[in-house]
Structure 1
Amino acid sequence: MKTSRNRGWRIAQKQRNKSRDNNNGMLTFRGEKNWKMLYTRSDKLLRAAKLGIEYPRITKQQLGMRGLEEYLLADERTFYMQS
């Protein structure tokens, strides 16, 4: 009897032998979802970048001071570039 080993046969074999796969656990783990469970700073920075938020969080006062510093620095640069 001849067995046709086409795409459907391969998919069925994969489904049948899935329990033998050693890497199965790595495929199902998706990482931490809860912000409190992220332990290291590097993990938090990566997660914040994915979410599109700034980490560490910056207060409005700090943002204002940073903007003022950038504004003052920009004025100095144009002054030095003119001469």
Structure 2
Amino acid sequence: MELKRDRAWRRFRARQTGGDRVAKSTTYKPEKKWKMMYGRRTKCVRAQQLGFDYPIVTTRKLLEQQ
């Protein structure tokens, strides 16, 4: 009888023993690269979390608006 010890088995065993090499699939990590983010709203929310203005408005555009 052959034992089936594939990736799923190793992950299961690591979770049982509380190993530090376990893939934390339950934790959510937002995208860090702008090119990987889709949609203007998503980018605006992420920029607000990081604490900078998005979209970046140039000085020329600011002067034209006034």
The count of residues paired between Structure 1 and Structure 2 equals 47
Which residue is equivalent to 1:9? none
User: RMSD in angstroms over aligned alpha carbons?
Assistant: 2.2
Normalised TM-score (structure 2): 0.54
- Structure 2 gaps, min length 5: 1-14, 19-23
Q: Structure 1 stretches (4+) deviating beyond 2 angstroms?
A: 15-18
- Which structure shows the bigger proportion of residues in helix conformation? 1
Looking at structure 2, the residues matched to 40 and 26 of structure 1 have their Cα atoms a distance apart, in angstroms, of 24
Q: Larger RCO: Structure 1 or Structure 2 (Cα < 8 Å, ≥ 6 residues apart)?
A: 2
* 2:16 aligned with 1:16: yes
- Structure 1 gaps, min length 5: 1-14, 19-23, 70-83
Which residue is equivalent to 1:26? 26
